[in-house]
Amino acid sequence: MDVYNEHTVSLLSTLSSFIAIALENAKLFEETKKLATTDSLTSILNRRALEEAFQKEVMRAQRYNRPFSAMILDIDNFKLFNDTYGHTFGDEVLKTVASILKKSCRKVDILGRYRGDEFSIILPETPIEGAKKLAERIINNLKNTPILTPQNNKIPLNISIGIASYPFDTLEPEKLLTLADTVMYKAKTS
């Protein structure tokens, strides 16, 4: 006597089809979610996802009265890289910088591409001193990473960094990115 009759086999076949469709839909949902939150070039958070994470950190810092810092980083003379060596080379520079930033950050830090050649890092539970230490680590890591032109010439890679910290620089944490951006531009022009 067969344990599975024709009806049971049909039912199991239909059920397995539904399970396969559900698994495929879950996979597609995760892929879509990643595309919506990740910068396609650098594989770090895009600006929208970064701003959402920033707002969550603002709420957390205010609720628990905890410090946090924000950094804006800009690649100096990036337009010159694109104009001299082409946009493909510029894309490689962006990927390299994103990789260095990722390696420099702690796991709890939130890294994203802010716009163009600018990046932002949100540093939860981090007062200004901790943010300055990260900036030093990033600068050292950049110095130790050669950037090679298509002709295999080493070129220096410099960045300007702006840091703002709650409550050190402002009692309004929602202003941190704007303050960090202003400090970064001052650093760039000096």
Domain made up of 47-189: CATH architecture: 2-Layer Sandwich (3.30)
Tell me the two tokens of residue 123.
């540093």
Tell me the domain boundaries of the chain: 1-37, 47-189
In whole angstroms, how far apart are CA 99 and each of 17, 28, 96? 41, 26, 5
Confirm whether pTM is higher than 0.75.
yes
For the question of residue 74 being annotated catalytic, the response is no
How far is it, in rounded angstroms, from Cα 65 to Cα 72?
23
Pick the catalytic residue: 39, 74, 117, 181? Answer: 117
Can you give the pLDDT of all 190 residues of the chain as single tens digits?
Answer: 456 688 777 777 777 777 877 777 777 666 666 667 899 999 999 999 999 999 999 999 999 999 999 999 999 999 998 999 999 999 999 999 999 999 999 999 999 999 999 999 999 999 999 999 999 999 999 998 888 888 898 888 899 999 999 999 988 888 999 999 999 999 888 8
Under a CB-based contact definition with an 8 Å cutoff, are residues 165 and 172 in contact?
Answer: no
The contacts of residue 95 (CB under 8 Å, 6+ apart) are 41, 42
Pairing of strands 159-166, 147-148: unpaired
